[in-house]
Amino acid sequence: MPARRSTAACSNSSPGSDANYTDEAAYKEKRKRNNDAVKKTREKSKQTAAQRKANVERLKKQNTQLETKIEEAKKNVETLKDLLLRQAKPEERDNIIKQIIEQPTDDEDDE
């Protein structure tokens, strides 16, 4: 920012007076504090945006995993329905049911 111009009240002072110097120093300090505050605010905004973006990516990944689990569960349900409707041989049916039941689930990993 360009330096602030002297006001009419300061024009009565001589160019090198203490009042003019103090006014200019106060203005520069005020600008410095403002610039520092702006930098801090912008940095915080960038951090917040980065955190939000990371959270969105994490949730997308989690959503994809959950959709996969849902599809697997639907397939298992269909297989069980088919077994019941077809009335498969008891040994075959028991083996398939056992395989489905013994499949590890992601829920067990979360605990």
Tell me whether residue 11 is in a domain: no
Query: What is the tally of structural domains in the chain?
Result: 1
- Range 95-104 average pLDDT: 79
Q: Is the pLDDT of residue 3 over 70?
A: no
d(CA 33, CA 38): 9
CA-derived radius of gyration, the chain = 36
Tell me whether residue 40 is in a domain: yes
Tell me whether residue 21 is in a domain: no
Tell me whether residue 50 is in a domain: yes
Domain range for 64 is: 31-102
Tell me whether residue 90 is in a domain: yes
pLDDT tens digits for range 65-84: 999 999 999 999 888 888 77
Helix (H) or strand (E) holding 5: none
pLDDT at residue 61, as a whole number:
98
Tell me whether residue 81 is in a domain: yes
pLDDT tens digits for range 7-33: 544 444 455 567 777 899 999 999 999
Alpha helices in the chain (DSSP H): 18-86, 90-102, 106-110
* Nearest of 59, 73, 63 to residue 101 by alpha carbon: 73
Tell me whether residue 91 is in a domain: yes
Between 21 and 52, where is the model more confident?
Answer: 52
d(CA 106, CA 59): 16
Tell me whether residue 16 is in a domain: no
pLDDT at residue 1, as a whole number:
55
